[in-house]
């Protein structure tokens, strides 16, 4: 059956690549997945551009495993030498195409795994979800679907990791900072320059060292990435605005990190988060899924890149075919053998596994 699942996955991936599906414009590829899963007898449910299937025999007394990956892509980068929507295949067994690696390969191989396991006896419930808006962390994606699903106990998130398990992932906060001063004439010794005050704030944030560090993700990473001040050359500015990119870890919640950074920035700076919803995530190294992956020779690691794990209020791990370095690049591709290997690895991991 692995051969059948592999060739079905190849065919579905080709079809997905040929349908442009940038974030918030995934309707056509969601149509494809809804139609294909219905043809396979999987009884899909649709909400917006999200499509999911629940394996037969759902039992609320059993734990529930979610298999999830995303169907949206970024827009094509400059420099493509292949048509990004042609699913070009080469003699070296590659398929080139936008979304082939991130994350079409994960979508089709997790779906293949769901098909294999759906009618088999399992000590857990099983749900497959192809979600939208992941690349923009949109509110119409997985965040909109989770309230519609049964309680989830653990999730496998398909992203290109070379089939190595990311058991921790950094979260993200973007902070808008306002640093105050007092306006004055630049020719006289008047006012209090908000830019000079901002220098102190920026240096404090640059060297922020929070007490706790994550075992897998290291320290919280704080980067000032934008700055704006002044209206004209002869006026001492009374306001300086900065934007701060904060990559959070499982050592603190986003809310805890925010309060610590406010203390570091001091009284002359106001830090306001655009959102605290994209939190860090982690799963115990002793979780049965992680331990079983170790038996299979897989090496757990901490991931610096954001995924839909940030919106999951339950344990999750990230593992999928492909290489994160290929994502969002011109001539993105997936190796065909990576699809077969992913299907086999997922099935070996989950067939009979207790979660």
Q: What is the pLDDT of residue 152?
A: 98
φ, ψ for residue 341, nearest 5 deg = -65, -40
**Inside any domain, residue 203:** yes
Start-to-end Cα distance in the chain: 24
User: Are 120 and 180 in a shared domain?
Assistant: no
Q: What is the pLDDT of residue 90?
A: 82
Environment class of 186 (CB within 10 Å of its CB; exposed 0-12, middle 13-18, buried 19+): middle
Dihedral, 107, 111, 113, 114 alpha carbons, nearest 10 = 140
pTM equals: 0.92
CATH code of 120's domain: 3.40.630.10
Per DSSP bridges, beta strands 171-180 and 154-157 are unpaired
Q: What is the pLDDT of residue 92?
A: 73
User: Are 249 and 177 in a shared domain?
Assistant: yes
User: Are 177 and 147 in a shared domain?
Assistant: no
Q: What is the pLDDT of residue 71?
A: 98
E strand segments, 92-197:
94-96, 125-131, 154-157, 166-169, 171-180, 184-185
**Inside any domain, residue 355:** no
CB count, 10 Å around CB of 255?
13
**pLDDT averages per 10-residue partition of the chain, 355 residues:** 95 98 98 98 98 97 98 97 95 92 98 97 97 96 98 98 97 97 90 96 96 94 97 94 97 97 96 96 95 97 94 97 96 97 98 90
CATH code of 259's domain: 3.30.70.360
**Inside any domain, residue 304:** yes
Q: What is the pLDDT of residue 189?
A: 79
**In which domain, by residue range, is 187 found?**
171-273
In the block, tokens 């995303």 appear at 70
Interatomic CA distance for residues 146 and 190, integer angstroms: 56
């Amino acid at each position: 059956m692995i051969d059948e699942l592999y060739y079905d996955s190849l065919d579905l991936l080709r079809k997905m690549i040929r349908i442009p599906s940038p974030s918030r414009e995934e309707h056509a590829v969601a149509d494809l997945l809804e139609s294909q899963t219905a043809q396979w007898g999987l009884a899909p449910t649709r909400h917006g551009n999200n499509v999911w299937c629940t394996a037969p025999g759902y039992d609320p007394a059993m734990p529930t495993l979610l298999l999830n990956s995303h169907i949206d892509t970024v827009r094509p980068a400059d420099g493509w030498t292949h048509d990004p929507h042609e699913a070009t295949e080469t003699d070296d067994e590659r398929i080139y195409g936008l979304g082939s690696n991130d994350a079409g390969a994960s979508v089709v191989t997790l779906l293949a795994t769901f098909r294999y396991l759906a009618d088999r006896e399992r000590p857990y419930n099983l749900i497959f979800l192809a979600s939208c808006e992941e690349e923009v962390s949109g509110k119409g994606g997985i965040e909109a679907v989770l309230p519609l699903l049964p309680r989830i106990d653990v999730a496998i998130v398909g992203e290109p990791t070379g089939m190595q398990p990311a058991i921790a992932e950094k979260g993200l906060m973007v902070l808008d900072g306002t640093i105050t001063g007092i306006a004055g004439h630049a020719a006289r010794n008047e006012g209090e320059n908000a830019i000079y005050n901002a220098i102190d704030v920026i240096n404090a944030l640059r060297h922020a060292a929070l007490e706790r560090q994550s075992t897998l993700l290291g320290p919280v990473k704080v980067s000032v990435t934008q700055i704006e001040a002044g209206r004209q050359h002869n006026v001492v500015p009374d306001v300086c605005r900065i934007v701060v990119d904060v990559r959070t870890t499982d050592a603190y919640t986003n809310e805890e990190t925010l309060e610590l950074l406010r203390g570091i920035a001091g009284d002359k700076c106001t830090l306001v988060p655009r959102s605290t919803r994209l939190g860090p995530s982690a799963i115990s190294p002793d979780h049965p899924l992680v331990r079983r992956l170790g038996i299979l020779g897989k090496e757990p690691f901490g991931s610096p890149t954001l995924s839909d794990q940030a919106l999951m209020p339950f344990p999750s791990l990230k593992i999928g075919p492909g290489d994160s370095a290929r994502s969002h690049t011109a001539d993105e591709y997936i190796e065909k053998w990576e699809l077969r290997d992913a299907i086999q690895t997922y099935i070996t991991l989950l067939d009979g596994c207790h979660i």
